[in-house]
Amino acid sequence: MRKRMLVLAVTVLFVVSIMLAGCAGGGAVGTLQFHANGEDFVRQGFVSKDGWSINFDHVYITLADITAYQTDPPYDPHTGGNINGKVTVSLDKVYTVDLAEGGEDAPPILVDEVPDAPAGHYNTIFWRMVRATSGPAAGYSLVIIGTAEKDGQSVDFTINVEEECEYSCGEYVGDERKGILEESGTADLEMTFHFDHIFGDAETPPDDELNLGAPGFEPFADAAEGGKILNMAELHLGHVGEGHCHCECH
């Protein structure tokens, strides 16, 4: 009888230990931040390929299904395809961000953060650009409001984009590596938006691929619905720093 009680007690102890260990979640965690960045093009303005000096009052972009992955092998945005992550961290909300917020020297916009993200190297990020359901960009995925000047002429413009896009991006490319999260540390990922891909850049040679593909500002100067001029899939607005994204729009 005593032997049976001993066996039963040890078994119960094992079961309870397993349950507690399983509930512990396991593994090191830290804080993973997600930033959106329109770069100096948006914050400080620039001169388009066709000579218009553009300054932005607001650039509203609406982002959803923002997800960071640890992938092995690393995801290749040049080939596209599904992202197979060993570890996945997602933001559940839809965010409308003003990329022009904060002035000329503002840092990238903090969209949100996950305080208990598993540690490791997040080398892939995905997000959707979707139509906002409320707020200043309601009905549109991208709203660009600003002023363009050329040869004494000044144009106040608003460009509304209805097209929705998905961006599957590889690793961030910049001065430093991002997304390397250590236990109890903080790491960040950045969704970068290159608006020189829309308007071109006067500081880049006219025959550069960037300027050859960009509409410039001239088509928007008189257009009533400038957003319909843009083919977002071809413009490759979304990047990760200088790193590339696979883009699908509809």
Partner 1 sequence: MHMKWRIIVSLICILAIGLVLPMKVFAHGAKIEYTVSMVIELVAAYDNGEPMAGAQFVVYAPDDPSTPWLTGVCDDEGRFSFTPDTSKPGIWDVKVRQAGHGDIVHIPIGEGAVAASGTGGYTTLQIGLMVACVVWGSVGTALYFSSRRRA
When computed from its CA atoms, the radius of gyration of the chain, rounded to whole angstroms, is 23
Asked if 202 is part of the footprint of partner 1 (rule: CB under 8 A), the reply reads no
Task: Report the nearest approach of partner 1 to the CB of residue 241 (Å).
Answer: 7
Asked if 242 is part of the footprint of partner 1 (rule: CB under 8 A), the reply reads yes
* CA proximity to 39, closest of 52, 53, 56, 27: 56
Asked if 185 is part of the footprint of partner 1 (rule: CB under 8 A), the reply reads no
The residue (of 59 and 117) whose beta carbon lies closer to partner 1 is 117
The residue (of 113 and 208) whose beta carbon lies closer to partner 1 is 208
Amino acid, res. 184: S
Region at 25 (left for phi over 0; alpha for psi -120 to 50; beta for the rest): left
Residues 205-217 as b or e (16 or more Cβ within 10 Å = b): eeeeebbeebbbb
Asked if 74 is part of the footprint of partner 1 (rule: CB under 8 A), the reply reads yes
Task: Residue 56: count other Cβ atoms within 10 Å of its Cβ.
Answer: 22
Residues 14-33 within binding reach of partner 1 (CB under 8 A): 14, 17-18, 21-22, 24, 26-28
- Per CB under 8 A, residues contacting partner 1 are 7, 10-11, 14, 17-18, 21-22, 24, 26-28, 70, 72-74, 86-87, 118-121, 123, 170-171, 173-174, 177, 180, 209, 241-244
